Chain A
Amino acid sequence: MTLRRIVKIPAGKLLKLTADVENGVLKSVAVRGDFFAHPEEGFDRAEESLVDIPVGEFRSAFSAALAREGVELFGLSADAAADVFEEMLHDLPPA
């Protein structure tokens, strides 16, 4: 099932988050928006590393991947993205 949210991050930019979830596993995720991330390619790799993780691990996995890549975010934070992600999981039908 495809989940999607467009959220203005408090004191930040506009996050457009799209995720495909199957049986509790994240099959694809797109973290888009007008935020800044340095280095940009590190953010790409952190985002790609989220594929095939259980949805419950989004917060810790995204945060760890961004730290591993040394990514600095402006207008968005790993936790703010995780808040939006967890909120949109409520759209999933009850298991």
Chain B
Amino acid sequence: MTFRLLETGVSPGAFNMGLDEAILGAVAEGRQPPTLRLYGWNPPTVTLGYFQGLDEEVDREACARMGVDVVRRITGGGAVFHDAELTYSIVLPESHPRARPGILDSYRVLCAGVVEGLARLGLSGEFAPINDVLVGGRKVSGNAQTRKRGCILQHGTILLDVDVDRMFALLKVPSEKMKGKLIEDVKQRVTSLRHQLGRSVGLPEAAAAFAAGFAAALDVVLDPAQPSPEELEEGRRIAREKYGTEAWTGRRK
């Protein structure tokens, strides 16, 4: 069984989300096989969950000042600051043998790719429902799934490094009074490959490890490819008409 493997390097957030959606469309229409995509972010981007309020979660002035884009996802879950990170997306039909009907089961099956990728770097990860992967009890990966047009799209992050203070300069917290404590809590609860391995892991090394991890966990062969010209064009169009617009980003204030 073969999945297509796309390594698309680093891109702006609106394009990253647009290309994930374009791949979903191509797989849904049978124009492309199930696909694993690995990518990064430039400029750094805050993504918001589908059900989150923009003004509630993000300090847009701080983002503008620090050159950080803000983009809303089609998936639920929380706000994420994407910087030193490997991101993956995986798209497969709901009817595919590797797909699971239940959402929680699907998270478990697909997050096994993250756990296996960590193993290839010498780390022992564990899936923590609903949607996290932990190393040593600390979160190293967050994941989010949606189902559209008969397909599953799951995307998720693997932290190569993390700067919690910088993250909280961009995000709003429910109570300014509690901010200090919250930051300390998050520092305790979140980790990264660099923290765990005591050395930096670059995007190429991480991409190789997690491609192998997904291939092993899903028992599939990965066929390296490029996004089709149609997918790239569609991804750019969706970025322009949806993810790059205030109407979409601010649809929940």
A interface residue numbers (CB < 8 A to B): 6, 13-14, 16, 30-40, 43, 72, 74-75
User: Which residues of the partner chain B approach A72 to less than 8 Å between Cβ atoms?
Assistant: 103
* B50→A40 contact, CB < 8 A: yes
* A36→B53 contact, CB < 8 A: no
User: Which residues of the partner chain B approach A31 to less than 8 Å between Cβ atoms?
Assistant: 51
B112 CB-CB contact with A under 8 Å = no
Interface residues on B, range: 20 to 34
Could you jot down 16 A-B contacts, CB within 8 Å? A14-B78, A16-B56, A16-B174, A32-B56, A32-B252, A33-B51, A34-B52, A34-B78, A36-B77, A36-B130, A36-B144, A36-B145, A37-B51, A40-B50, A74-B76, A74-B104
Instruction: List CB contacts (< 8 Å) of B29-85 with chain A.
Output: 49-53, 56, 74-79
Judged by DSSP, the binding face of A is strand
B interface residue numbers (CB < 8 A to A): 49-53, 56, 74-79, 103-104, 130-131, 144-148, 174, 252-253
A31 to chain B, nearest CB (A): 7
Interchain CA distance A35-B253 in the complex, whole Å: 16
User: Which residues of the partner chain A approach B77 to less than 8 Å between Cβ atoms?
Assistant: 34, 36
Known contacts A14-B174, A34-B52, A43-B51, then 8 further A-B pairs from the complex at CB < 8 Å, ordered by chain A residue: A14-B78, A33-B49, A33-B52, A34-B77, A36-B145, A38-B146, A72-B103, A75-B130
